[in-house]
A = this chain, B = another copy of it.
């Protein structure tokens, strides 16, 4: 990423990062920062995705979630294909400023491209040693992905 593309200030010392008021997000070697999106009402984790500096800037300016798709290598306005936009109620940053949390009002029936409300629709049983089988926690789908995204 060019310097110009990153409008955020350079990182200060640890104490400033943890206790200061300057927003100094840390982007990784690929120019990305992880972002957790939760449902502002239920608290449910909807998805974990990544933002680059441009996506983060657009999220701040517009109050809607923008991400960077690692698979498509492209800036991605959440809901641009599906209409399932995420209105950001609050954006938070963690202690070392290398992770973000957005509380969102999810528009449409769900956040996941598979048609579920949340991407986290399966649980991993605990207390087992060796191979584990996943357990579905969200039965059925909130929407038909073929109708929303087309038959890919």
What is A's interface to B at a CB cutoff of 8 Å? 7, 9, 18-23, 34, 36, 38, 42-45, 47-48, 59-61, 63, 88, 90-96, 99-101, 112-114, 116, 119-135, 137
Contacts and interface: CB of A to CB of B under 8 A. Distances in A.
Number of this chain's copies in the complex: 2
Nearest to A130: B7
Contacts of A113: 95
A2 to B, nearest CB: 18
Contacts of A133: 21-23
A120 B93 contact: yes
A126 B60 contact: yes
Contacts of A95: 112-114, 116, 119, 121
A48 B61 contact: no
Contacts of A47: 94
B21 A131 contact: no
A49 B3 CA distance: 27
